[in-house]
Every structure is written in structure tokens, then in C-alpha cells.
Amino acid sequence: MSVQHLLEDFGDLEAEQLVMTDQALEEERLASFERGYQAGWEDASKAHAQEQGHIGSDLARNLRDLSFTFHEAQAAMLRNLEPLFQHLLHTILPKAATEGFDARIVEELTALSRELGGGTVIVSVAPAHAERVEALLGTMDALAVSVQPDKTLSEGQAFLRLGQRERMIDLDTALDEIRQRISAFFHASREAQKHG
């Protein structure tokens, strides 16, 4: 038995001819062009949006990596700088302050005598510095200076009096303040690194 009776026969149909006028053909071409253009535009927009999304996520990832790298570099730099600053604070700055102490006294005495004209300047210093300061100020002929040892003053302190005017030189307090600020800076940096 044949299965041909189950299949539809398309050979008997007459082909219908589609007749289009030139105007209808042109309208169909324009419509096809518009549909193609619109589909191309939509594809390009989707591709552009996807590309921008990839660029945005890549940029965000790179910024995170850069930020992390910057913080790692900053932390390493601070770890390496802290011993240097500690050496400066405990060795070099005290020595520089001691060496600059005499010059600071002379500078303040000169300024004080210019402001007030004349008179005897009383310079109070720690007993360990009294002889050295007396020898230094003995070379200043224009000023009458009296050096008085004062046990309440440390080696980085001096008290100058001329009449009613008084000036305090306190290099010890200045060094302590510098030490505290640098110590606080490194402490804050370590805490910031712990808490990200």
C-alpha cells in the first residue's frame, strides 16, 4: 500500500503571480530598508550598552585594584619611614636643639634689646648651661647681661627678662610636641590600615 494518498499534492496548484506596481515596489523597498535600519540601530544600541557596561565594570575593578595598591604602597612607605622619624626625634633633633640653643638665646636677646633699648637683661638657664651661656653672652658688649642658674629649668629652657618684658625659650616642650604629633600620626595611620 502506498502512502501517497496521505501527502498533499502541490503540483496541481497554479502559481499565482504577484504583480506589483513600481510605486508599491518602491514603498516595499523603503519599508524593508527602514526595518533593516531600525534593526541595525537597535543591535548597535544594545552592543554599545553592553560595551559601556563592560567598560564601566572594568573601570570599577581597575579603580579598586589601584586603590588597594595605593593603600598597600602607602602602608609600606609608612612602615619604612617610622624608624627614620624615630631616629630623627630621639637622636638628631635633640642634638640640633642643643646646638641651636645658644643661637636662640642670642637671637631673642638681640630682639628684646632692640624693642626696649637698654637695661640689664636677666637670663635664667639650667645650672648645667650657666657657665656656657655666660661665656657666650660675655662677648656681646652692647648688652648688660646677668646669667642666673635656675634649678626649675631644664637644659632646653631659658627665661629672659628685660624690665617688664619676658620671653621664654622652651626647646624641650617644642621637641615633645613634635614627638607627640609624629607619634599620633603614625598611630592614626596604623589604626586606619587596621580598619581599612
Residue 149 burial by CB count (10 A; 0-12/13-18/19+): exposed, middle or buried?
A: middle
Task: Round to whole Å and give the CA distance between 151 and 25.
Answer: 114
What range defines the domain where residue 159 resides?
Answer: 101-194
SS3 for 181? helix
Report pLDDT digits (tens) over 24-65.
888 888 888 888 889 889 888 888 888 888 888 888 887 777
Q: Report if residue 87 sits inside a domain.
A: no
Task: Round to whole Å and give the CA distance between 155 and 171.
Answer: 9
Q: Report if residue 189 sits inside a domain.
A: yes
- Judging by DSSP bridges, how do beta strands 165-170 and 157-162 pair with one another? antiparallel
- Residue 8: HSE in the Cβ half-sphere, 13 Å Cα cutoff: 2
**Positive or negative: CA dihedral 17, 23, 24, 28:** positive
Q: Are 102 and 130 in contact (CB under 8 A)?
A: no
Task: Round to whole Å and give the CA distance between 77 and 85.
Answer: 12
Q: Report if residue 145 sits inside a domain.
A: yes
All residue ranges of the chain with pLDDT < 50 are none
Q: Report if residue 170 sits inside a domain.
A: yes
Number of helices and strands in the chain (H, E): 4, 4
Query: Residue 15 has what pLDDT?
Result: 54
Put simply, whether the predicted model's pTM sits higher than 0.85 gets the answer no
> Cell for 162?
628685660
SS3 for 86? helix
Q: Report if residue 117 sits inside a domain.
A: yes
Q: What is the CATH number of the domain that holds 183?
A: 3.30.2320
Query: Residue 51 has what pLDDT?
Result: 87
SS (H, E, C) 94-150: HHHHHHHHHHHHHHHHHHHHHHHCCCEEEEEECHHHHHHHHHHHCCCCCCEEEEEEC
Q: Report if residue 85 sits inside a domain.
A: no
Q: Report if residue 141 sits inside a domain.
A: yes
Q: Report if residue 90 sits inside a domain.
A: no
Looking at the 3D structure of the chain, how many domains does it have? 1
